[in-house]
Structure 1
Amino acid sequence: MSGAGALRRLRDVVAADMAGADVAHDLGHLDRVAGLTARLAMREGRDGFVAAVAAYVHDHHRAAEARLGRVVAPAECRDEARDALRRAAIEEALWDPVLDAVEATGRYTFSAGEPAPDPVGAAAVIAACLHDADMLDAMGAIGIARAFAYGGAIGEPLWDPSAPPSSQRYRSGPTGSVVAHFHEKLLRLRGELRTAAGREMGERRHAALEEFLRRFREEWVDAHGDDATAPPAP
């Protein structure tokens, strides 16, 4: 099977597996992350096909989170991701390198708790590219769209002056508002990017986040007459 054919087959398999995932981790997200991961990997001198395969199976833990109602690490869903590779007839020799890269992404963190060490070994470069692609999809215009789609799905307000952004380390789960989420997480992603190409793309996407927040704040002040209840400037 050609690389393109194998990816189409894997995409079909994963589409069914991810049917219960939240709106921010749908098949469209996987398509975008697969494309970005492949591009970043090739810039790093790695196999873009292997990188794209890893991207398509990197979010099985999100479907598990939707089922179980708790945070699930990628390592907990290694068997499910392996089964997806098997059903898609991905070459068996690629399974462990792909799964190791996916698992390694779970050791990158800026959430509350002790920071984990960087992944090492053969999976490290693919893991860094996958990590950056995932972060990049949470930034820029698409990141803005995803944030509001997810916030709407869970009933978060656009902005709640009584629930300002936390200055503490980011914690998974709902925040006080979608705009608070920008300050608590999305504006911090630029500093988490691991590859040179990812950082280059991240600059443009970070600028889009800041421009959106400036305009949101201006329009909030227009509506309310002062800035006492407006969100903080980016």
Structure 2
Amino acid sequence: MEKIIQITSGRGPAECSWVVAQVLKKVLQEASENNLIATVLQHQAGQENGTVETVLLKVEGKMVNEFLTSWIGTIQWVGKSAFRKFNQRKNWFIGVFEVEQSSEIQFHEKDIQYQAMRSSGAGGQHVNKVSSAIRATHIPTGIAVVSMDSRSQHQNKKLATERLMQKLAQNNIEQLKSKFKNTWMNHTQVERGNPIRTFEGTDFKKEKKVNKNKVDRGQSKRKLKNEDYR
């Protein structure tokens, strides 16, 4: 099972972007400790060094739902700003949201239509008298590629198939990027209060409290303890 989450500073200042970077480290660390695979799909760096405004993360594994239950929501950090020394604010909030996944285009060779065609050179001259070039079309999407690199029709078919696979993979990536842009609304939905986790201190190691009622609703197999996050 896999899930995609977004960790975002909302429209918060640099301090919130710093918190995003720290939470990202925590999520990656805890995912590894729980035998989950966490992969950064895309991120946007903040204006200050070591900060991240928003990041898209894919988490895979058997216990992914239970794991994310302890993260999705508002994260609070209590500490003094490292960017504005005279700022009196000590409470900073970011959000962790689950992102609805786009349906990936699956590759099946049965969905490919091959069409033989003559290879042509500059000025419309025929390079080969035989139909050695191949056009491969992915029927469900209409995406098509042409290979005329070789004089062998068999080799061109193989090359066209490989290129079509690459083009479909790129299409999936573009869909994911589009989904990432569409998650901008999450930037306006960070709740300032009722945090699922609260950290404090510049080392970001001490967890002040956990909203156990929210965590326990979906997490019967793993009991959260403060020492888990140190």
> How high is the TM-score relative to the length of structure 1?
0.25
Decide which structure has greater strand share: 2
Larger Rg: 2
User: Relative CO higher for 1 or 2, CA cutoff 8 Å, sep ≥ 6?
Assistant: 2
